[in-house]
């Protein structure tokens, strides 16, 4: 189960701060990799952006299924995994809109980097589910922070209006206070988890690996997009 083990509080260790410090350079590297570097500079086509979303889709699907499976068994995970954080339906909604009503599951390839990442998350859910916390940290706090800037870049670059095509980045109905509450609640939830020292170390290591996997994925999407 998530958060289970010989219990000590990680609040005094500051798991959220540890994760931020340990992944800072890898986070920066991932942002400068492949399709993400192009997106951050506003240089991305609709087709390539759809390809990126299509390859994030299996990652969110595996992560959210895993978190759901281990949610109700552990009160600390209940504090961490809130319904408002769920991104898969919004991501698929954006793909439905941006891919012009076509079948994106059929038309857009799932790249090996995305398939292997999703398989890793499915394996963790079966064998060491506490490590899903690392990937939840990577994705959801990233979406809550940098995702808000990305929404503006995507709207401007693709000529979108409102939230059509950018529902993926919309938390709390556009309420800035709600957004801040979600950020704070997630960080507090991380520090409230009861973990062994070994589990906490493993989560930090897994988060570092998660950023490496994202950099590889972004490079793969950019390479496939050039070929297209």
Q: How far is CA 145 from the centre of its chain?
A: 11
Compute the distance between CA of residue 208 and CA of residue 23 in angstroms, rounded to an integer.
Answer: 6
Check whether 8 has a pLDDT greater than 80.
Answer: no
- pLDDT band, residue 11 (cuts 50/70/90): very low
Check whether 50 has a pLDDT greater than 60.
Answer: yes
pLDDT of residue 96: 95
**20-24: average pLDDT:** 96
Q: How far is CA 226 from CA 43, 215, 220, in A?
A: 13, 17, 10
Check whether 10 has a pLDDT greater than 70.
Answer: no
pLDDT of residue 228: 43
Q: Which DSSP symbol is given to 172?
A: G
Compute the distance between CA of residue 51 and CA of residue 57 in angstroms, rounded to an integer.
Answer: 10
**45-56: average pLDDT:** 96
Average pLDDT, the chain: 88
Q: Which DSSP symbol is given to 203?
A: H
**116-128: average pLDDT:** 95
**88-108: average pLDDT:** 93
**Alpha helices in 87-196, H assignment, sequence order:** 88-98, 104-107, 112-127, 132-136, 142-144, 146-158, 176-192
Residue ranges per structural domain of the chain: 8-227
CB atoms within 10 A of CB 127: 8
Check whether 107 has a pLDDT greater than 80.
Answer: yes
- pLDDT band, residue 91 (cuts 50/70/90): very high
Query: What pTM value is reported for the model?
Result: 0.90
Q: Which CATH number fits domain 8-227: 1.20.1250.20, 1.20.910.10, 1.10.287.110, 3.40.50.10420?
A: 1.20.910.10
pLDDT of residue 172: 73
CB atoms within 10 A of CB 152: 12
- pLDDT band, residue 174 (cuts 50/70/90): low
3-state secondary structure 22-56: HHHHHHHHHHCCHHHHHHHCCCCCHHHHHHHHHHH
pLDDT of residue 176: 82
Q: β-strand 194-195 against 8-9: which pairing, if any?
A: antiparallel
């Amino acid at each position: 189960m998530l958060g289970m083990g010989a219990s000590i509080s990680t609040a005094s260790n500051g798991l959220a701060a540890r994760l931020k410090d340990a992944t800072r350079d890898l986070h920066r590297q991932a942002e400068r990799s492949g399709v993400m570097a192009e997106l951050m500079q506003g240089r991305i086509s609709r087709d390539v952006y759809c390809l990126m979303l299509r390859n994030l889709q299996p990652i969110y699907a595996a992560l959210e299924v895993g978190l759901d499976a281990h949610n109700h068994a552990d009160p600390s995970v209940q504090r961490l995994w809130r319904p408002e954080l769920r991104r898969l339906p919004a991501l698929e909604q954006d793909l439905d809109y941006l891919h012009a009503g076509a079948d994106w599951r059929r038309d857009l390839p799932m790249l090996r980097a995305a398939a292997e990442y999703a398989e890793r998350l499915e394996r963790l859910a079966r064998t060491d589910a506490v490590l899903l916390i690392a990937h939840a940290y990577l994705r959801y706090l990233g979406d809550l922070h940098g995702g808000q800037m990305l929404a503006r870049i995507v709207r401007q670059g693709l000529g979108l209006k409102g939230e059509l095509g950018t529902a993926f980045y919309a938390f709390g109905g556009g309420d800035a206070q709600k957004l801040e509450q979600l950020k704070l609640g997630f960080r507090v939830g991380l520090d409230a988890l009861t973990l062994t020292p070994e589990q906490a170390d493993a989560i930090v290591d897994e988060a570092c690996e998660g950023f490496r996997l994202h950099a590889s994925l972004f490079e793969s999407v950019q390479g496939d997009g050039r070929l297209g």
